[in-house]
Amino acid sequence: MKTLIPILGDQLSHQISSLSGQDKSQAVLLMVEVAEEAAYVPHHKAKIAYILSAMRHHAHDLESQGWQVDYVYLDDPQNCGNFTGEIVRAIEKHRPHKIRVTEAGEWRVKAMLDSWGDRFEIPVDIIPDTRFIASHSEFENWATDRKQLRMEFFYREMRRKTGLLMQGDKPEGGQWNYDSENRKPAKRDHQIPKPLHFPPDVLTLDVIDMVTVRFGNHIGRTANFGFAVTRADALRQQAHFLDVALPRFGDYQDAMLTDEPFLWHSILSPYINSGLLDPLELCRNVETRYREGLVPINAAEGFIRQVIGWREYVRGIYWFAGPDYVNRNALGASRPLPDFYWTGKTDMHCMAQSIGQTLDYAYAHHIQRLMITGNFALLAGINPVEVHQWYLAVYADAYEWVELPNTLGMSQFADGGMLASKPYASSGAYINRMSDYCRSCRYDVKQRTGPDACPFNALYWDFVARNAPMLRTNPRMAMPYKNWERMTGADQAALRSNAAKFLETLG
């Protein structure tokens, strides 16, 4: 009476719900390297290498704990290249009496798992994923019938549910949110921490070689590959972050500096999203550091909000909005994604930095994603599906459930305000305030028009003007519209013509 337990590539946790309560002697775990998954968008080579290497290491861990693992390698000549085909082969091979699998993380894979029930003669049990704090029904209950969905209110529910940073029913320190303290620009003379670099072991080097050959035409470089690929190493990076970066995480959360890709960020998202780290356990560790007096409240609260607030909220939105969310385009943006998103070759220093480090590390931190590459795409009116496919391809932590709402909703406002109360649009002034990028740029951030003017400036006002029918009545956009309407007609025309000229250069 065997049970076949497929473990998907983002289920690399010993606590995954499909394993819970199972008899090791009666279970076969199936892990498959699926060509279809690696290539449905041109994923960054380092991302593919990370996921495959983490899967291979996880399979060894599971075996050493006594599980029987049937592992299908990408270059196995019998690998049929898709998961359902591999289930067919596994059923023939192992003759299980049922399949038990933890639910999928995204609509496309959900449809596949749902189809197994009709396709196979044995029962298929799909188990909820318990790695999240809010279940699907909890989010639905919270969201249904609300006039507006806002992260802040959902986040408070998650604080109450987990008890994190709570004193009874009151928030620790008397405030729910310390974001206003978390907007300091960083200086070069700060002691900037570096994340741990894990030199690839033999197994990882093999994977990198295979990826280089098989996915040579994909974006990105593997020369800097230093991801943890085991839970033990991911825990080392977690401890390192708690020790050296967390204390100032809050202060410099929105800061950007030239040639400093990581600053005080945790670089833990690939591990949390693939299952090597547990988000709640991580947050409890952050809280302990605060309670021991080792980190200030703005750091602890800021970090915990990202994980139990934003991360849970975007997952809720992804499932609540349905499979058609990806087709939303509230601002009617249609321009193709410029080539420099794939090469980093542009005179805009902020863009070259953010894209360049993405190619090098499959990583950019939140403000680079939101206020540099995302902001530019928003201002330039790039087709949100192309923007989404880019983000999904280039970051090691990108899975559709978390990437899509962040890109389409938060960054591109393509859902018309379902996720965010206003577009995250800004001129060069914001970038200049939060970074040192403008100092080394060929453009002048202070100029609004002319050949040397920072492109973000004219593009910003062009964005405001062309989207007036949609955004003019948004109370949070009142100030930009007031400023736009105060300008003379000649100024407005000059800004719009500058924007048009620049947009022409994008091809």
Nearest to 242 by CA among 196, 210, 207: 196
Query: Tell me, what amino acid is at 199?
Result: P
Among 42, 296, 374, 409, binds ligand FAD (CB under 6 A): 374
Question: Which helix (H) or strand (E) is 31 found in, with range?
Answer: strand 27-32
Partner touching 53 among ligand SF4, ligand FAD, none, CB below 5 to 8 Å by kind = none
* 392 sits in which H/E element: helix 384-394
Smallest distance from ligand SF4 to CB 335, Å: 18
Binding mask 300-329 for ligand FAD (x = CB under 6 A): ---x--xx--xx--x---------------
- And the tokens for 247? 């204390």
Which of ligand SF4, ligand FAD, none sits in contact with 467, Cβ below 5 to 8 A by type?
A: none
Element at 28 (helix H, strand E): strand 27-32
Pair of tokens at residue 267: 């670089």
Taking the least distance from each CB to ligand FAD, the nearer of 113 and 272 is 272
Report what 454 binds from ligand SF4, ligand FAD, none; CB cut-off 5-8 Å by kind: ligand SF4
Residue from 18, 222, 266, 357 touching ligand FAD (CB under 6 A): that is 266
Tell me which amino acid residue 29 is: L
- Contact pattern from residue 391 through residue 420 relative to ligand FAD, giving x for each residue in contact according to CB under 6 A and a dash for the rest: x---x-xx---xx--xx--xx---------
Q: Which is nearer to ligand SF4, 271 or 341 (CB)?
A: 341
Q: In degrees rounded to 5, what are phi and psi of residue 42?
A: -75, 75
Cβ neighbours of 217 (radius 10 Å): 8
Query: Residue 350 binds which entry of ligand FAD, ligand SF4, none, with Cβ cut-offs from 5 to 8 Å by kind?
Result: ligand SF4
Minimum distance from residue 102 beta carbon to ligand SF4 (Å): 43
**Contact status, residue 124 vs residue 83, Cβ threshold 8 Å:** no
Helix %, strand %, coil % for the chain, to 5?
55, 5, 40
Q: How far is the CB of 395 from ligand FAD (least distance, A)?
A: 5
We find the least distance from the C-beta atom of residue 431 to ligand SF4, in angstroms, to be 4
Q: Which stretch binds ligand FAD (CB under 6 A): 47-55, 205-213, 367-375, 456-464?
A: 367-375
Site residues for ligand SF4 per CB under 6 A = 348-350, 428, 431-432, 437-438, 441, 443, 445, 454-456
The DSSP secondary-structure symbol of 409 reads I
Q: Which of residues 173-192 bind ligand FAD (CB under 6 A)?
A: none
Show the beta-strand stretches assigned E in 384-482.
Answer: none
Helix (H) or strand (E) holding 127: strand 124-127
Interface pick for ligand FAD out of 18, 102, 204, 273 (rule CB under 6 A): 273
Q: Report the alpha-carbon distance of residue 497 to residue 175 in Å, rounded.
A: 46
Q: How far apart are CA 154 and CA 145, in angstroms?
A: 14
Q: Which is nearer to ligand FAD, 31 or 267 (CB)?
A: 267
Residue 194: strand, helix, or coil: coil
Residues near ligand FAD (CB under 6 A), total = 28
Q: Nearer to ligand SF4 by C-beta: 351 or 419?
A: 351
Q: Is 204 in the site for ligand FAD (CB under 6 A)?
A: no
Stretch in the footprint of ligand FAD (CB under 6 A) among 263-271, 284-292, 354-362, 447-455: 263-271
State in angstroms the smallest separation of the CB of 473 from ligand FAD. 25
What are the residues whose beta carbons fall under 8 Å from the beta carbon of 391, sequence distance 6 or more? Answer: 369, 398, 403, 406, 407
The reply to whether 365 sits near ligand FAD by the rule CB under 6 A is yes
The least CB distance from residue 506 to ligand SF4, in Å, is 14
Bridge partners, residue 71, by sequence: 31
Would you put residue 413 in left (φ > 0), alpha (ψ -120 to 50) or beta?
A: left
| By the rule CB under 6 A, 370 interacts with ligand FAD | yes
User: In whole angstroms, how close is the CB of 414 to ligand SF4 at the nearest point?
Assistant: 23
Kindly tell me which residue out of 269, 354, 389, 449 binds ligand FAD, with binding defined by CB under 6 A. Answer: 269
E strand segments, 222-279: none
Find the angle CA(240)-CA(243)-CA(248) to the nearest 5 degrees.
115
Beta carbon of residue 446, minimum distance to ligand FAD (angstroms, whole number): 27
> The tokens of 75 are what?
């270059």
- Give the contacts of 453 (CB within 8 A, at least 6 positions apart): 443, 444, 447, 498
Interacting residue ranges for ligand FAD, rule: CB under 6 A: 265-269, 272-273, 303, 306-307, 310-311, 314, 365-366, 369-370, 374, 391, 395, 397-398, 402-403, 406-407, 410-411
